[in-house]
């Protein structure tokens, strides 16, 4: 979704430039940014943040190193972003300006499988930008807030996947889309980020199928109120 999620986990939120294209889910979106010197400086700085984060991690990320790498005066970086947390938050917020949409294959299980595959590809990408951003959100309150905004954005975009499945008759009405999406994608993060298990090519499909079957069985649908309740 990416990371994220993408979708829905965080993706590599690096704004694209003439020198470099973002990779990671959601795949290769075209960024929409205002033109002019301000936008150009922002692109240079956010590119530098991601490069420094990928090479040195959160502990090695400094304002001065970002300024030097971006070829932007350090005063500009401090004035606009304030601190490392501000830089990370802007990187994550920039990801919400892309035009990514979730897969639409005509099948809920297939859509969720492709979504999980995008997440897995992003989490395994080198340098490990997505994983580093998720880790950084545990160290910076500003980054954590921006990470939540990104998750909300990705989940909101992916809700159409569930709506389509309901319209096709694959799912009963009233399915809680957010709960279903979390159940489908959570195994990717659990296995790859928490347990650090070797990549399993079957995991995206297996997690998708499990969540889809649970949804069909009503696991994410609130039961009707009992007779006589409220």
- 144 lies in a domain? no
Buried b (16+ CB within 10 A) or exposed e, 125-134: beebbbbbbb
- 23 lies in a domain? no
Query: For residue 156, what are the domain limits?
Result: 108-127+151-216
- 65 lies in a domain? no
Q: How many folded domains does the chain comprise?
A: 1
Note the pLDDT tens digit of each residue in 202-228: 999 999 999 999 999 999 998 766 666
- 20 lies in a domain? no
- 197 lies in a domain? yes
Q: Is the dihedral of CA 63, 64, 69, 74 positive or negative?
A: positive
- The average pLDDT across 88-107 equals 96
- 83 lies in a domain? no
- 85 lies in a domain? no
Q: Above 80 in pLDDT, residue 163?
A: yes
Mean pLDDT computed over every residue of the chain = 87
CATH code at position 122:
1.10.357.10
Rounded distance, CA 111 to CA 162, Å? 10
- Poorest-confidence range of 15-19, 72-76, 141-145? 15-19
C-alpha dist (Å) from residue 187 to 19, 74, 156, 201, 204: 34, 41, 20, 13, 8
- 145 lies in a domain? no
- How many other CB atoms are there within 10 angstroms of residue 27's CB atom? 14
Note the pLDDT tens digit of each residue in 173-182: 999 999 999 9
Note the pLDDT tens digit of each residue in 20-56: 333 233 433 334 445 688 999 999 999 999 999 999 9
């Amino acid at each position: 979704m990416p990371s994220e999620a993408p979708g829905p986990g965080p993706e590599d939120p690096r704004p694209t430039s003439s020198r470099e294209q973002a990779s990671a889910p959601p795949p290769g979106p075209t960024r929409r940014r205002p033109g002019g010197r301000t936008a150009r400086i922002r692109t240079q700085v956010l590119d530098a943040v991601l490069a420094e984060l990928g090479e040195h991690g959160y502990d090695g990320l400094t304002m001065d190193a970002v300024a030097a790498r971006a070829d932007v005066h350090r005063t500009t970086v401090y004035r606009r972003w304030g601190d490392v947390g501000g830089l990370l938050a802007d990187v994550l917020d920039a990801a919400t300006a892309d035009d990514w949409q979730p897969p639409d294959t005509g099948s809920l299980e297939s859509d969720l499988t492709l979504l999980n595959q995008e997440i897995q590809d992003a989490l395994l990408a080198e340098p490990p930008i997505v994983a580093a951003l998720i880790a950084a959100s545990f160290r910076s309150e500003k980054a954590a807030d921006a990470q939540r905004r990104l998750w909300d954005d990705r989940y909101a975009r992916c809700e159409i996947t569930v709506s389509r499945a309901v319209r096709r008759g694959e799912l009963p009405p009233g399915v809680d889309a957010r709960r279903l999406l979390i159940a489908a994608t959570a195994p990717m993060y659990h296995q790859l980020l928490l347990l650090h298990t070797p990549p399993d090519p079957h995991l995206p499909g297996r997690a998708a199928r499990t969540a889809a079957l649970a949804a069909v069985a009503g696991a994410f649908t609130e039961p009707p109120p009992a007779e006589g309740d409220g």
